[in-house]
């Protein structure tokens, strides 16, 4: 999982860099999501943050699905990967 999640985080970072400007709410949502992904990468076997990470992914997908389809695609891929792992 670590390597797949690292790759998807790199893809997510690349999509975020492509974004011209973000409102404060969108920036906050992405900052929290990236933070939870980094926690998961540091402690992959710790189940305590699974639900929060999944919740943030789902929330961000809903928030960005119309305005940033590339970003949404990466987050959907991440959600699918985690789901396939039973997380």
pTM: predicted TM-score of the whole model, two decimal places: 0.85
C-alpha–C-alpha distance, residues 50 and 53, integer Å: 5
What digits encode the pLDDT tens for the residues 22-81? 899 999 999 999 999 999 889 887 777 788 889 999 999 999 999 999 999 999 999 999
Q: Where are the domains of the chain?
A: 2-84
Specify the pLDDT at position 85: 77
What whole-number distance in Å separates Cα of residue 5 and Cα of residue 21?
A: 25
Q: How confident is the model at residue 1 (pLDDT cuts 50, 70, 90)?
A: low
């Amino acid at each position: 999982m670590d390597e797949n999640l690292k790759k998807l985080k790199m893809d997510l970072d690349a999509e975020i860099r492509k974004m011209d400007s973000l409102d404060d709410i969108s920036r906050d949502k992405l900052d929290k999501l990236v933070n939870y992904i980094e926690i998961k990468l540091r402690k992959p076997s710790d189940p305590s943050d699974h639900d929060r990470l999944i919740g943030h992914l789902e929330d961000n997908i809903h928030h960005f699905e119309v305005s940033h389809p590339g970003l949404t695609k990466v987050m959907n891929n991440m959600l699918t990967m985690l789901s396939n792992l039973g997380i």
